[in-house]
Amino acid sequence: MKKWLGILMASAAFLTFSMGASAQTTSGNLSSSNALKLAQTAREHYWSAMNGHNVKVTNSACPQGSFQYKGTDYRFFCSEIGTKEKLVNYMNESFTLNAIDKGLKKYRFVEYKGKMAQPNADGGSLLEWNKAKTKLIYQRKDIRQFEFTIPYGEKVQYEKRKVTFVKVRGKWQINDMDAVR
pLDDT, position 75: 95
pLDDT > 90? residue 178: yes
pLDDT, position 121: 84
High-pLDDT (> 90) share of the chain, %? 75
pLDDT > 50? residue 80: yes
pLDDT, position 173: 98
Band (pLDDT 50/70/90 cuts) for residue 65 is confident
Q: How far apart are CA 126 and CA 173, in angstroms?
A: 24
Q: Regarding predicted confidence, which is higher, 33 or 13?
A: 33
pLDDT > 60? residue 68: yes
> Which contiguous run of DSSP H or E holds residue 151?
strand 143-152
pLDDT, position 10: 38
**113-136 tens-digit pLDDT:** 999 999 998 778 899 999 999 999
pLDDT, position 28: 65
Which ranges in the chain belong to alpha helices (H)? Answer: 2-26, 32-51, 84-91, 97-106
The dihedral over CA atoms of 146, 147, 151, 155, expressed in degrees to the nearest 10, equals 180
pLDDT > 90? residue 110: yes
Q: Which of 54-63, 77-86, 168-177 has the lowest mean pLDDT?
A: 54-63
- Whether the full predicted model's pTM is greater than 0.85, yes or no, is no
Q: How far apart are CA 28 and CA 2, in angstroms?
A: 39
**7-30 tens-digit pLDDT:** 333 333 333 333 333 334 444 689
pLDDT > 90? residue 176: yes
pLDDT, position 13: 37
pLDDT, position 151: 97
Q: What letter does residue 129 receive in the DSSP assignment?
A: G
Q: Which CATH architecture has domain 29-50+86-181?
A: Roll (3.10)
